[in-house]
Structure 1
């Protein structure tokens, strides 16, 4: 088969590549056709113009029109708080474009100014509303503060002071003034340990709980309905103590005093 001609070898350049010597690409010959990109036709221009109009219209609808503006607020989930209290703190900018309402700022404001709120969801309800879905903290223990009561939730957060004790919430008595436990652990830690004990009680015992007393880290006692009492001891080994207490109460249902501070050797007595 015949090889390339001299002219062809010049066009390919050394090593068979395009161009002349040293592999340089030769400029197109005079009169050779030049590649051109097609110009957009009327249809393409019309589509692009329509898309631009649609975007501008959407922006105007969201920010400039009177159709999608915040006109009302709906609050759900409140129990102790009232919707009016929540909405006053939320301060939703009525009349502002709904898309521009800062829902994160509203949520932060509610959580900061209303400690009773455990969680809140702030949502846009198109076309004109803002929804506030509130979850309030639930007290599991009460601390006495003069003639009032401080509510403590399941995470040991002291979130509200009330004049009247909520029904069914046990009282927590801290009798640790001057004790080594107070110096070592601090009042907040001792309150947290009491909450921990409260959470580990058997359901029946928790329902009958009237008050808890913390004398030290190692001595926590319970007062139950029916003039019954329980020495729990330290917060450690809560599950074992709960099992021992359940067994004792089943074996001696009329007993008045139970001691599970050493769950491997629990004790029971009439008084």
Structure 2
């Protein structure tokens, strides 16, 4: 009996070995020499990059640019920033510079410190703006819209009203403190009608519930506390329009306002 033919034997071997394998796709295996060459190249590239950033003279701080100042001068900001000229630009700690500026110059509200490649540091300043001043020893302490006392000046800024925290009930001062009462005054100023803001001369705070405004022409406003200030502002605006000759306005209870004097 004759054995299997060559074709039959090939077909049986193919069945025994399973389905045909797909051709291998990908990079050919790297030789040891090629791997070493690649690693050496990457090391040199990394070393060159580090040297360029930290060791070369091309990327070092040569200038400090200041923008956004109003009362402060660029020279004051640069001096307080104390940026190390000549240091590698990549090594500059921008957060530390920002913290240093806010600590040394309380007039700064926010500061943006950025690297300006290849050789500069940019300082973008936003200054605090006074909304009230407190007279103290012949000078004036500026208070911003958050109630922060940030600077003392010899001359009061033009158009900024004075804050007076007078001796009211001792319990109110113990409970709230002068800083809290100053913030309450700021809240009132922030929502006062524009016409009142233009004529406002003094904000008097006797206690948390007793805030009054003194306007030009001897006019006064009893505001009460800073609670419901928006409603009080709207009521005062309507009251002043209805009684243009009045000298005194009371909006401490906005649902029951009153005006008097002529």
**TM-score, length of structure 2 as denominator length:** 0.84
Q: Distance in 2 between matches of 1:233 and 1:178?
A: 14
Query: Which one of the candidate residues 82, 86, 89 is aligned to 2:80?
Result: 89
Q: CA deviation at 1:113?
A: 1.1
Secondary structure at the counterpart of residue 84 of structure 2: coil
> 1:177: Cα distance to partner?
5.7
Counterpart of 2:158? 167
Counterpart-to-counterpart distance in 1, 2:87 and 2:54? 9
User: Any residues of structure 2 matched to 1:82-231 within 5 Å, and which?
Assistant: 82-176=73-167, 179-231=170-222
| Runs (5+) with no aligned partner, structure 1 | 1-36
Q: Deviations over 1:179-238 (max 9, x none)?
A: 332123211111111111111212222222111111222211111123321111122221
- Deviation of residue 151 (structure 1)? 0.5
TM-score (norm: length of structure 1): 0.82
Of 25, 46, 57, the match for 1:66: 57
TM-superposed deviation, 1:48: 3.7
Q: Secondary structure at the match of 1:80?
A: coil
> Retained in 1: the 8 A contact 2:132–2:161?
yes
- Cα distance, 1:39–1:262 mapped onto 2, change above 3 Å: closer
Considering only aligned residues, what root-mean-square deviation do their CA atoms show, in Å?
Answer: 1.8
C-alpha deviation, 1:253, in angstroms: 2.1
Larger mean CA deviation between 225-234 and 48-57 belongs to 48-57
Structure 2 unmatched runs, 5+: 1-27
Instruction: State the alpha-carbon separation in 1 of the partners of residues 29 and 249 from structure 2.
Output: 94
Where do 4+ consecutive residues of structure 1 move more than 6 Å? none
Note the C-alpha offset of 1:121.
Answer: 1.0
Are 1:75 and 2:66 an aligned pair? yes
Q: How many residues align?
A: 235
